[in-house]
Structures are given as C-alpha cells and as structure tokens.
Structure 1
Amino acid sequence: MNLPPVSAYLLAFNNTCETLRAAVQSLLEQSHKPEEILVIDDGSALPVADCLKDLPVRVLRHAHNKGRGAARATAMAEAKFDLVTCCDATNALDSDFVRRAAMRLDEEKAAAVFGRFVQPKQNTATLRWRGRHLYRVDIPYEFSRQARLSTHGAMLKKRVVSEVGGFDPAFRYNEDGDLGRRLVAAGYDVLFDPELKVVSLTDNSVLQLLERYWRWNSGLVGRLTFGDYLKLTVYSLTVMARNDLRARDPAAALISAFCPHYQAWKSWSGKRSQQGVVG
C-alpha cells in the first residue's frame, strides 16, 4: 500500500530535555517517517529550541502557556499534510505506529485513530498505580470505532478536524475529548487500535497521578455533588484499593484511598488544571 505523507507534532511544556529528545527520536525512527516534525513549545521555561537544535524539527513557541487546546490548534494550523500524528513529549511511539495508523485512516469515515499506553517499568508504587488504574495496561482491549478520542498518541485527518471546528483553544485539558465528540456527532468514526502502542517515558509523583486521574475522569463532568463524592469513595475502596491489595501493593492502595478526596477538592475548590508535564 502506497501511504500518503504525514505531518507529526509534539506538545512540550517544561519537559526534560532527555524525554523530549526521546519522544522526537521515536518519530524519526518510524517505519513510515513523517515528512515534517513540529514541536509546539507552550511557554516552557526550558529552552526547547536549544535542546533540539541538532534534530530535524521545527519549533513553534507560545510566549506564555496557553493550554492544550491552543497548542494543538497551533499544530494543526501549521501542519502541511492531511494526516497529522500527535504525541505528548512524555511519550514515545512504537516504530510502526505511523504506518499502521495511516492504514487505519484510509477509510473515508475514519477521522482519527489512537493507541494504548504500555509501561515497561513497574518498579515504584506510583508506576504500578498508574499502570493499574490510569493506563490499565493489564486489561485486554479490543478495536473500537466509537472511542473517546485521546491524543497522547494519535493520528488525525486535518481536513475533517477543520470541518468540525478544530481544537477549541479555550480547553486547557479535555480538548481531545471535546473534539472527539464533535467528530462522532458529525458522522465520523474515532478509532481505537490497541495494536498502536504508546510508551510512557516518565514516572509521576503522587500529586501528578492524582491530577491526571481527576483530569481524565472527574474533571470531564463538572462540579461533583456530595453523592458523587460518596460514590467515588466507595469505588476507590471496594474496587481500586482492593485490586491493589490483591496485587500485594499496599502503597498503591493508599494512593487509591486518597484519590476521591483529591477529586472532590479539585472540584469544590475550583482549582484549574494546568497543561503541565504529566500528559
């Protein structure tokens, strides 16, 4: 199959130079190499351009942090080709990711396709908790055509994204979920292919884990009610912490037990999520 040319981009915000270069290198080593690689520096303190000056990438810098929606909108506007691969700067794509994703998007109704996280290391409580409860690496996944879009490692059709209004710059997080809902509402398919593998390059602190879990779950539904809080508390103890203890992982069980209280605090305090380094 003769595959079309592909653009690719990374989002960067205060990432380490080491992980940023590893993410770029994963794009350079694709079996179907992108014709261009953009790096969107969303107001990092780190001099991203200096870190990548010896690599064939184009760095576009925001003067200040605008959030994920604005950063992805910049990337899509600057991409030269219709197929656009996206990856966060804390992740690396499997070497066959771009080729397989481009083949998936050969279907007319397919607007986007994304892959699943894999996590090679499990040597800390935070990594084990992240793999078990956030990435859910041990769950058997199946291919889906009506998935909730996630752009941690994905490929999109630029013309279709533009057709439905593109990424909303007002969204500092959940910009991909918002776009995915509009794509499906317009009659397009959002594909999830578990054979598309995205490797997480970093560990997270407990606070970063709780922030991610809130942003991926409770942060999508608005202000929690007290009833929601009680349900989350019961779930964290009877499902999440129980699974941790079955795995003989009491340290992870403590994180699970605290999780609903963090979600409630985020919801009721009105604290805003920042783009950050945690994906």
Structure 2
Amino acid sequence: MAARIIIERLEFYGRCGVTEEERRKPQLIAVDLELDAAVEPAGLSDRLDDTIDYARVADRVVALGASRTCQLLETLAEQLVDMLFAEFPVTHLRMWIRKLHAPLAMVAGSVGVRFERTRSAPPPTQPMPLPFLVEQLGRIPKGHILDVAAGRGRNTLYLLSQGSQVEAIDRDAEALAELGAAAKVRHLSGLTTRVLDLEADPDRPPSLGQACYDAVIVSYYLHRPLFPSLIDALKPNGMLIYETFTIDNYFRHRHPRRWEFCLAPNELLRLTSPLRVLHYDEGEHDGGQGSGPSYTVRLVAQKAGPETT
C-alpha cells in the first residue's frame, strides 16, 4: 500500500547563488515535499517504524541544505533528491524549492523550481559506516578529517554526508578511485584522496603532517609505529577515533590471520598515552560489515589544547 508524506514550507538558510556575493550570505530557502513510499499501513500498527519519519526527513533536509554551497537551486535540489532516495523508502517525490527573498527588485514573491522524480531502480548498496563512528559523531568536529587506511571509504562517505572535509589515504589506488566515484555519484563534496603506503618503511612511518586535522579516524587497521604520526597530525583539541581487533578475536575467531595485527589488553591506552581519553572499552562489538560481532577495542581521545592563562 502506498503512503504519501507531505511536508509544507520547510525552511532553512542556505548558500545558493550564481554570484559569489549571493553565496557569501545565507538566504532563506523553503522546500515543499510530497513523498510516496511503499510501506505498510502504519495506522493499523501505530508504529513509527512502519512509515516514513517526517521529523527525520525534515532534519536531514535542513542539515544537508544548510551545509552545501552551490550556484543553482537545481544542484541543491538534486543533492536533496539523492539523499531522500538513499536514506528513506521513497519511490516517488515532488519537490518545490525556492528562495523566499530573491535578490531581484522586480520580484515581490519567491523564485524557485518544481519537479518530480521517480526511483527508476533499486538504490545502490550503501556502505555502512563504522557503528562506533556513528555513535561518537557528536564529539567529532566537522572540520578537516583524516581517514587512515580508508579503503573504499565507508567512513569517509558518511563523514562527507555530514558536512565534513575529509582526506582519505590508502595504499590501494583503485580503492581510492572507487571512493572518488562513489562520492561524485552521491554529489558529496569536500573529498581529497592520497595514495600512501603507511608501511613502506617499517622503521620510519611517513609523516601525516603537523597539527593538520581536527580529527583522525582509524578503523580495523593497526601499524604500531604509526601512532606518533597520528598524534602529531592532530590539531590542538583534535580527536582520535580508533577501533580495531583485540587479541581475543584472534583466539576466538582466528581473525585476523596473524596475532600481531591485534591489540593486547590496554595496549591502545599505552600507544595513545599523550592524549586525554574520552571513551575506552574492550569487548564484543558490531563492526557494521555484515560479518557479525567481533572483539575490538574502541577509543576516543583528545589532544591537549593551548594552555589558558
């Protein structure tokens, strides 16, 4: 049974305009939505899970719209459409997006565009970000973030969708090329990639820069000599978010294939001792990769900021 969700005059301030001056000052933008979805009749169950949560739709439209800078309303609209199809069970939508106070002396009302879109095919499989990263999102600055050993970028894509600027590094050039293509398809901006073998010289890990990043993300990768470089790369007050396997996973599941790729109890605390620990736990966790729970250690730690007088 098809359901139609209607949201009228959802307003936010966005940066959209052909001229640089228009984009510099946020303008009030309004969006009207009609969303068709193939869902069960929620009136029979009285459960929010059985329909589209219009409050969540509104939050995501405002968050995305307020974080983007573009020249055309059409560009912003297409980004909103991609998000709605990717994150909600929408089969067809109608949108009216407009500037409420157009910078044109002869226009007393709004200017905008109306259009309809139909999901023409099932959405591509979206890589799920690390659940721990999603849990800790509120602690992560939306500045310049480094994703270490990013691979095809499940964490990078998620952080880009949240409005961050992300640099993804990995030794696999093909994986980074796929990441770049995926970001382009999703109309996600703010991505840079760098091919870098972090273990080319086991005794001298590469520098990742000095005080360059607001946050550094590492998931399921371990190279112990790299930790000083990770810490150096953080800006004052920058955050390190880290999760990888513990030795318990090796003994219980024989994964990874070598025990050296696993951390001993409390070892991550020793390796990150210059940082202030905000969260730390070891145990069985869901890694969000469809392989079931595994034994990992999870850390959020912060670099010291400038001394106050």
TM-score normalised by L of structure 2: 0.28
User: Higher Cα Rg: structure 1 or 2?
Assistant: 2
Higher relative contact order (CA 8 A, sep 6+): 1
TM-score normalised by L of structure 1: 0.30
More strand by share: 2
More helix by share: 1
